[in-house]
Amino acid sequence: MTTDSTASPNTFAFKAEVQKVLSLVINSLYTNPEVFLRELVSNASDALDKARFLQLTAGDAVVRTEEEPAIRITLDEEHRSLTIEDNGVGMTRDEVIENLGTIARSGTSEFFAKFAEASKSGDKDRALELIGQFGVGFYAVFMVADRVDVDTRSIKVGSEAVLWRSSGDGEFTVAAGEREAPGTRITLHLKEDAAEFAEEWRVEHVIEKYSNFVMFPIHVGDKVANRSSALWRLPKSKVSEEQHVEFFKLVTNGSAGDAPLATIHWSVDAPVQFSALVYVPSKATMELFSSRQLPGLRLYARRVLIMESCDKLLPTYLRFLRGVVDSEDVQLNVSRETLQENRTIRQIEQQLTKQALKALEALAADEPEKYLAFWRQFGVILKEGVSTDFRNKDLLAKLYRFPSLRGSKDALLGLEDYVKAKPEAQRAIYYLTGNDLEQLKASPLLEAFRARELDVLLLTDPIDEWMVNGLRSFEGLELVSVAHGELDLDAVAKPKTPEPSPADDARTKAAVAAIERVLAERVVSVRASRRLTETASCLVSRQGDPSANLERLMKAFDEDKVEAKKRVLEVNPAHPIVESLGLLVERDPASPRIQLLGEMLYDQALLSEGVVEDPARLVRRIQDLLVESARNAAAAAEAPRG
């Protein structure tokens, strides 16, 4: 039946203070005018879904059609128009007036007062929550159109076509329409500065960006513009490795490697519904380590892109993961451009985080070489987790890998393997932090461990100082820094090679006391060492104080606010320098060489850490010792031989 389209139209005023709402939509909600097309495609997709459901459930109450469900977009550059049409559920006259004439159905001036109050106070989340109560997505069309025509016919048997028309100026008209079949055709008469949306390439770009995976075909001219197959909605067995590689390159723009190291393909219906297809990249990108906005997962709702980069779906220490999450349960603000804080998102984040960590755990167990490749790319980021995610701390700790004292050059050791390999009597996990692996391996702090063939984890990433503080223990064993406190390893293991014995305990005490007097302003104390077997001296921090490495890192951020803590100088009682110093104190307590040797022991300890406080002063001391040594050698050479 054809309706007389010449019948006089009825004019209506928009409800809910339309001018304010339209101003809000156009000027406040959307940051990019191209989203109008996303909104129209989403509405058309919903209409097709509803039509399919009614045809299955409503019997003879709805019109039957054999036509393929589809969305069609027609462009006219000459007349600057865009038409989008679907053969979905359509609307009756009453539904047109209700749905398109009432922007905010429960809206009153109270809404605007509350919105203004929330905006003024800076409570952005509250403002978004308020506008999220109002269904105004359709009205994004007025960002780009001077006039909008909606020609629609309901799928209900006996319905007539209806034409809705408005320029967004406070009024709309409703008249008889021309459609003969159920569905909706929306024609936008574009503004001059929006003429680009009548061009095919521009429309295809928007569809590819936002609506590429809508389940119904979107025809633009003579071709289908969307991909249509949302891999994350398919069963795992239906997605090939080639499809994963192709999709991985799509979501990473080809910047994160040629293929993923691991894939998380997962769907869940309770307690919250969502599907996820997430990849572990094979290559880190620079943006992961920058202060700019961090990459996130793409968020879809019913296959329609809502956010290109949603950083609320994963904790920051998993920011290297790339892929998509699609959920029908997420609550969005009215513009669909901003995610509201809510329990649903937190539930998705918790479940997705657990699945991601399990996937990494499986990769480490099943393909250790591939996991080590992952760790070398992303380990420094994953280490952030134990300080921020207490819930998953134990699982994270199992994923960590470190170089160690007894490991080969490129070997990395997990905490579980460290615990399995340690002597039964060892009740701690030992570690040492610094900024250079080779320098750490040569540290005098490790001499007692080498002598007993005990392993020590060597931590060289700046984040390690905070990581060990967040971790603290693993499987009941405390993490202990070998650069702190006193150390006695005899209860753990005996040296594999005999250690030199101090010549005289009293002489050692005299040497320690003399050095402490010399260095009274520079160290907390001086003591005989149980950790040195070859080197004359070393510096250790008191228990509870920051390590020297942490102080150096903190100074790099703000040197003026970091006060260096005095440390303890440990001296090796069996070393010839310490023995000679003890003998000198015994024979000539006023000798100037005591001052010189005491300061040289301190400087040597700093030098072994790669630190020189005063290079010029150190050179002078070395010269003094060399001069004295040369004179002693000359005197010995000139002495008469017996």
Cα separation, 297 vs 446, whole angstroms: 44
Residue 613: band (very low, low, confident or very high) from pLDDT cuts 50, 70, 90: confident
User: Tokens standing for 270?
Assistant: 């309770």
Q: Which residue has the tokens 């539904």?
A: 95
Share of the chain above pLDDT 70, in %: 83
Residue 29: band (very low, low, confident or very high) from pLDDT cuts 50, 70, 90: low
Residue 3: band (very low, low, confident or very high) from pLDDT cuts 50, 70, 90: very low
CATH of domain 400-611: 3.40.50.11260
**pLDDT beyond 50 at 135:** no
**Residues 399 and 416 sit within 8 Å (Cβ to Cβ):** no
Per DSSP, the three-state class of 49 is helix
User: Tokens standing for 77?
Assistant: 């550059």
pLDDT in tens, 224-248: 999 767 899 899 999 999 999 999 9
**Residues 121 and 10 sit within 8 Å (Cβ to Cβ):** no
DSSP string computed for 515-548? HHHHTTTTEEEEEE-SS-SSSSEEEEBPTTSPPH
Give the CB-side neighbour count of residue 374, counting CA atoms within 13 A.
27
User: Tokens standing for 23?
Assistant: 């101003």
Question: Which is more confident, 12 or 389?
Answer: 389
**Residues 334 and 307 sit within 8 Å (Cβ to Cβ):** no
Q: Where are the beta strands (DSSP E) in 370-476?
A: 401-402, 413-414, 428-433, 457-459, 473-474
Range list for CATH 3.30.230.80 in the chain: 231-371
Residue 632: band (very low, low, confident or very high) from pLDDT cuts 50, 70, 90: low
Per DSSP, the three-state class of 454 is coil
Cα separation, 450 vs 440, whole angstroms: 13
Q: What pLDDT is attached to residue 18?
A: 53
Report CA-CA distances (Å) from 414 to 124, 271, 320, 361.
44, 34, 21, 12
Mean pLDDT of the chain: 85
Q: What pLDDT is attached to residue 81?
A: 98
Cα separation, 640 vs 642, whole angstroms: 6
> Across the strands, what pairs with 288?
none
Of 355, 356, 386, 387, nearest to 374 by C-alpha is: 356
The pair phi, psi for residue 496, each rounded to 5°, is -75, -25
Q: What pLDDT is attached to residue 223?
A: 93
> In 10 A of CB 435, how many CB atoms?
15
Residue 562: band (very low, low, confident or very high) from pLDDT cuts 50, 70, 90: low
Q: What pLDDT is attached to residue 601?
A: 93
Helix 109-120 and helix 124-131: axis angle, to 10°?
160
User: Tokens standing for 632?
Assistant: 């002693």
Q: Average pLDDT for residues 590-603, to the nearest whole number?
A: 90
Q: Alpha-carbon dihedral of residues 383, 386, 389, 394, nearest 10 degrees?
A: 110
Range list for CATH 3.40.50.11260 in the chain: 400-611
Q: Which residue has the tokens 């007539």?
A: 160
Of 275, 273, 278, nearest to 326 by C-alpha is: 275
Per DSSP, the three-state class of 184 is strand
Question: Which is more confident, 397 or 285?
Answer: 397
Class of domain 10-224: alpha beta
DSSP string computed for 217-246? -EEETTEE-S----GGGS-GGGS-HHHHHH
pLDDT in tens, 325-378: 998 887 655 445 545 556 788 899 999 999 999 999 999 999 999 999 999 999
**Residues 86 and 47 sit within 8 Å (Cβ to Cβ):** yes
Q: Average pLDDT for residues 55-66, to the nearest whole number?
A: 87
Q: Which helix (H) or strand (E) holds 325?
A: strand 322-326
- Amino acid at residue number 490: D
Q: Which fold has domain 231-371?
A: Ribosomal Protein S5; domain 2 (3.30.230)
Range list for CATH 3.30.565.10 in the chain: 10-224
Surface-to-core class of residue 309, CB atoms within 10 Å of its CB (0-12 exposed, 13-18 middle, 19+ buried): middle
Cα separation, 287 vs 305, whole angstroms: 22
Per DSSP, the three-state class of 504 is coil
Share of the chain above pLDDT 90, in %: 54
Cα separation, 429 vs 418, whole angstroms: 8
Per DSSP, the three-state class of 421 is helix
pLDDT in tens, 136-195: 578 889 889 999 999 999 999 999 999 999 988 778 899 999 999 999 999 999 999 999
* DSSP code at position 285: -
Q: Average pLDDT for residues 381-405, to the nearest whole number?
A: 95
